[in-house]
Amino acid sequence: MEKRPVAYQIYSAREEAAQDLNAVLATLKGLGYDGVEFAGFYGHTAEEVKAMLDANGLVAISSHVPFVQIEADMFGVIAYHQAIGCKYIAVPYLDDKTRPGAPGFAHAIAVIDKFGRLLKEAGMTLLYHNHDFEFVTMSGMYGLDFLYEALPADVLKTEIDVCWVKYAGVNPADYIRKYAGRCPIVHLKDFVGRKEDGSTPYALIGLDENEKKDTQAFEFRPFGYGSQNVEEVVNAGIESGAEWFVIEQDMSIGRTPLEAAEMSIGTLKKIGLK
């Protein structure tokens, strides 16, 4: 298998990072990670973050920035991420007013288009990180495909999250290959449970507006310890031009997030990616 660098989504260890970001970065480097993907900076300035990254030999490959923050301060977002050397910024989530099928989706597309073009001018790249709700059908296609049809590939690229794709009932490897040449970063995330069993992963992380009581059937797992076909997904990413893979686990049950991070990168070492 061809080697690829691997990053870790800091959101996965958000409580630890809020306490001591530098210690988390040092641990990740020790585990064999090459970079990180941020989802907030825990009150640190760009200069502080860059110094911590440099001290630990890590790259800020990408960052999840809330849609509302992007819309409110595009140039400020760009300046901060330029200062830490971040190449990619991802729209991580659309709320129920702006996601596919909602009245505000057309507005969201316009904002994403504008920001993507500004990033391109700045020598950076905009990504869109999916969940399962983009797999509603609109205009005869998935909402996620509608978004990628609406915007050119040089303005918006994909950050396909294989957990949410599979949870939506779509084969992740097939979906990655669908966007070959447009998928510089692939999110590797594993889970057990099915969409049809009445459980909801959003309840686990506090994002479900209609939280079900029975959430035990769904559980996020370290990559390689759930339902994903590990080698199929990784090979699809390599074949489709992925530059980086990112490990993410929204919640770790029965072990600390960084213990889960060690298990996940261990899976990638075992199959020869690392």
CATH number for the domain harbouring residue 31: 3.20.20.150
Q: Is residue 42 part of a domain?
A: yes
Phi-psi region of 74 (alpha: psi -120 to 50; beta: other; left: phi over 0): alpha
Q: Is residue 256 part of a domain?
A: yes
- pLDDT above 70 covers what percent of the chain? 92
- pLDDT digits over 122-136, tens only? 999 999 999 999 999
Q: Is residue 69 part of a domain?
A: yes
How many whole angstroms separate alpha carbon 217 and alpha carbon 173?
24
Burial classification of residue 207, based on how many CB atoms lie within 10 Å of its CB (0-12 exposed, 13-18 middle, 19 or more buried): middle
The predicted model scores a pTM of 0.93
Q: Domain range for residue 129?
A: 6-270
Q: Is residue 162 part of a domain?
A: yes
CB atoms within 10 A of CB 151: 19
What are the backbone dihedrals phi and psi of residue 213, each rounded to the nearest 5 degrees, phi first? -75, -35
Alpha helices, H only, the chain = 14-31, 46-56, 67-72, 74-83, 105-121, 143-150, 162-167, 172-178, 201-204, 230-239, 257-270
The total of structural domains in the chain comes to 1
| Average pLDDT, rounded, for the chain | 94
Q: Is residue 178 part of a domain?
A: yes
Q: Is residue 183 part of a domain?
A: yes
So what's the pLDDT on residue 215? 44
Q: Is residue 259 part of a domain?
A: yes
Mean predicted confidence (pLDDT) in 94-109: 97
Q: Is residue 22 part of a domain?
A: yes
